[in-house]
Amino acid sequence: MLRSGFFIFPVHEPTLCRELIRDTQPSLVKVWASVTSEPQLRDWRALSPNTIFLLVDGDIGDSDTKHHLNDIPTLVRDHSAQWARWRDRGYGNLWMAYNEPPIWYGAEYRKRFTDYTARALEAAHGYGLNLCIFNFSVSWPWAVIDAENWWPEFSPAVTAMQPSGHGGAVPSGDYLGLHEYWGSRGPLDLAALPWLVGKHKLCPYNVPILISECGIDLAVEGKAHQGWAAAMEPGAYYQQLRQYHAMLDPRVKGTAIFLMDYEGREWETFDIRPLARDGLFKGEWDMADPMPVPARVRLPFDGTPSPKPVGFGMVTQWYGENAEYYSQFGVAGHNGVDFGIVTGTPLRAVAVGRVTRVQQLSDGYGWNAIVNHGWGQTIYAHLSRIDVTPQQDVAAGQVLGLSGNTGNSTGPHLHFGMRVYGQNVPAMNDWIDPAVMLGLKDAPEDDVDEATKTEIRNTVWNQMGIAYNPDAALAKFAKAKGLGAPKDGERRLVVNGKAYIVQPYDGGIAAVPEGKWDAVEAVSWN
């Protein structure tokens, strides 16, 4: 399991840097090779062996000019040779390929950039290296990836990525690097990052992501850095970071909170030591493995929704209805389900989770709470009372507050919404239809054709680092277990109603539960 971490690089305070790495064991530290000595890095790695040291250097870290991509073959050759040299000197196993590409230079530039990235990945793999590619800014005003659908242009590069293997403290495989700064979107939008990332137009699903920079930074083009602490006092900053981490998309495998000093200015105004001393970067940062999405959750209130036209709990507005009305809010329709319930009805968490946001708005959702369940989020809106606070853990069925009629509401009701990681619906601001999971509607007929199912299996299988191929899995497993040479052919066996693909070997039988290609099991002959 990877832990989310943060980047600490007070260049002029090596002792502090060492302390922080030792005490916090971050998942990710971004290293400028030009200012980090080899002994220093060795020391850090010894202190925190599971930390990924993401190396950025020279051309790779400074891609602000167009001419860099004029001679792609030469550039790829030089970069990959450079990475191999760093590797041989003991630096980490992840490199930033072409940091912060100026993608706003236009389509022609982006095409060359994509070409470069795909070739750089190939070259790196040839050296036994993996890359963290892109490091796009999600929302710098002058990059505005979020506002443009540039993503398809980059997909050839992503296709060249080596899928990351699961398991292991330090992952193998390539990563998509993204970064986000607070100052560019307003002070409180950090927690929105996973959802920005999750939209198709930013990056595809099933790609592991490192948020390779994340923090408050008021720097904009043409202006001096004002110091990230200028925007917020440390306690509030930390609170936001906790909230951000509680909402992380499971594809995010690590986060580097960017604390780099620009000529020491940030460190003059903000001292991270008390936060580290209080353990504020420990524990809380542990990231769980992605949680499975449940087939059903409980209703957000007690009782049974009555049928139309009237009655307690009846659905007054389904998901997707009233597209015209909701266009003013930038969504393609009603992005949740409304239940007609009297003000003061206790509202309950539909599943175990952690409260990540509580708001008391006079418009929109009114008083509302968001719970993160690990597999997604739920929102309970238009409340009259809220009984929970951010970061509070809640059990399934625990009362969050009382229903009401606050915000943009024409009568007492509950607006209930649900997001599920990996199922984002961009046109609905990523909210999905919760009706099936709430048991209000039957699951739609399975109309997925075989080709699509194979494609899905392929994707899942690829995530595990190998093309979908039971034979390959069995062979890999047999090798790891020393089962010897295969005997006879592979076959499909049904045992207790469960299908396995099995392959006899000299030393035993390897079996893969069909469709669960990561769960190879050995069955001894004896």
Residues that bind Zn ion (CB under 5 A): 336, 338, 415
Residue with tokens 């006879």: 488
Nearer to Zn ion, 251 or 415 (CB): 415
Antiparallel, parallel or unpaired: β 52-56 and 28-32: parallel
Q: CA nearest 359: which of 406, 396, 326?
A: 406
Hey, what are 401's tokens? 């507050």
389 vs 178, 204, 355, 405, CA distance in Å?
Answer: 30, 33, 7, 20
Least Å from the CB of residue 416 to Zn ion: 8
Beta strands per DSSP E along 52-158: 52-56, 94-97, 130-137
Query: Residue with the closest Cβ to Zn ion?
Result: 415
Nearer to Zn ion, 204 or 364 (CB): 364
Least Å from the CB of residue 388 to Zn ion: 20
Compute and round to an integer the Cα radius of gyration of the chain: 25
Nearer to Zn ion, 317 or 391 (CB): 317
Nearer to Zn ion, 14 or 411 (CB): 411
Supply φ then ψ for residue 400, to 5 degrees: -95, -25
Hey, what are 38's tokens? 């080899």
Least Å from the CB of residue 371 to Zn ion: 17
Nearer to Zn ion, 209 or 428 (CB): 428
Helix 151-159 vs helix 107-126: crossing angle, to nearest 10: 20
Least Å from the CB of residue 327 to Zn ion: 15
CB 69 within 8 A of CB 59: no
Q: CA nearest 249: which of 327, 167, 200, 193?
A: 193
Nearer to Zn ion, 30 or 415 (CB): 415
Least Å from the CB of residue 415 to Zn ion: 3
Hey, what are 208's tokens? 């592991």
Nearer to Zn ion, 254 or 336 (CB): 336
CB-facing half-sphere around the CA of 181: CA atoms within 13 A: 23
Least Å from the CB of residue 348 to Zn ion: 18
Least Å from the CB of residue 34 to Zn ion: 53
Nearer to Zn ion, 249 or 338 (CB): 338
Residue with tokens 């003991």: 90
Contacts of 269 (CB under 8 A, 6+ apart): 227, 229, 230
Q: CA nearest 157: which of 143, 129, 141, 176?
A: 176
Least Å from the CB of residue 368 to Zn ion: 11
Least Å from the CB of residue 232 to Zn ion: 32
CB 132 within 8 A of CB 54: yes
Task: Give the integer Cα–Cα distance in Å for 402 and 195.
Answer: 28
Hey, what are 77's tokens? 């050759």
Least Å from the CB of residue 326 to Zn ion: 9
Least Å from the CB of residue 365 to Zn ion: 9
Q: What is the DSSP letter of 97?
A: E
Least Å from the CB of residue 339 to Zn ion: 9
Neighbours of 337 (CB within 10 A): 25
Read out DSSP for 432-482? B--TTTTTSSPPPP----HHHHHHHHHHHHHHTTS-S-HHHHHHHHHHHHT
Q: CA nearest 243: which of 392, 367, 110, 20?
A: 392
Q: Which segments of 321-412 does DSSP mark as H helices, in order?
A: 323-326
Contacts of 327 (CB under 8 A, 6+ apart): none
Q: CA nearest 464: which of 394, 512, 397?
A: 512
Contacts of 67 (CB under 8 A, 6+ apart): none
Nearer to Zn ion, 120 or 337 (CB): 337
Nearer to Zn ion, 247 or 414 (CB): 414
Nearer to Zn ion, 276 or 341 (CB): 341
Least Å from the CB of residue 311 to Zn ion: 18
Nearer to Zn ion, 15 or 410 (CB): 410
Nearer to Zn ion, 209 or 337 (CB): 337
Least Å from the CB of residue 404 to Zn ion: 13
Task: Give the integer Cα–Cα distance in Å for 107 and 27.
Answer: 35
Nearer to Zn ion, 82 or 429 (CB): 429
